[in-house]
Amino acid sequence: MMAKVKHPKKRNYRQRAHSNPLSDHSFDYPVSPGTMDWTKLYPEFAASHNEVKFCDVGCGYGGLLVTLSPLFPDKYMVGFEIRVKVSDYVNDRFLALRQDNEVYNNAGVIRTNAMKYLPNFFKKGQLEKIFILYPDPHFKRCKHKWRIVSEGLLAEYAHVLQVGGLVYTVSDVKEVHDWMVHHFSTFPLFERCEPDPEDKAAQVLIGSTEEGKKVLRNKGESWTAIFRRIDDPHAS
């Protein structure tokens, strides 16, 4: 009889809800996308000859990745999380899930700062989907520069996302939702689009994350928006 797989408990990985993304944390990151060794994250990566195609920016406790992994078994996906204990939890969560089901071999997590190192991991046009779900609101005006959506960061999202690729955003704070919609809608390389009824990712945005489940339990409201990467209108 096989021993029962022991799954990690979130209570053993608790950490502050917010982290200053502009402070000098210590991270390991590749010098360039070509030097990134993805085989450390995915057991079958070397044999697949594929690339990572989905990125969950600020993945929290990994709920979205756990949901997406079996929905897109042929896509490698990664979550970026800045908090040490939270990223440790997600890593342990996938290690346990893989013992139950090999389908989770396509998902993993990296502790890093997406605001600083996104282009170090992905080459131009590599990603098909980027998820920014329930980002830290950073309500104070002096901390708006900490927000994961800004004009400077939009240029980096546009760089790593392929033309036709999608960015999915969700927030339970209307002001933050409006902030993200404004920045993406006014950036020349993105356009807002309606969700495709056949898009499995769009169907699980709210109920898959721990934060989204909490909003649903409290009968709160979430606002979603999807943006498509378009060609540079000024390119010759």
SS3 161: strand
Considering the candidates 56, 92, 136, 172, report the single residue annotated as catalytic.
136
Q: Give yes or no: 92 in active site.
A: no
Give the integer Cα–Cα distance in Å for 101 and 104. 6
Q: How many CB atoms lie within 10 A of CB 31?
A: 8
Give the integer Cα–Cα distance in Å for 19 and 112. 12
Residue 63 and residue 208 in contact, taking contact as beta carbons nearer than 8 Å: yes
CA-CA distances (angstroms) from residue 217 to 58, 109, 133, 175, 203?
22, 26, 17, 21, 18
208-226: b or e for each residue (b if 16 or more CB lie within 10 Å)?
A: bbebbeebeeeeeebbebb
Catalytically active residues are 136
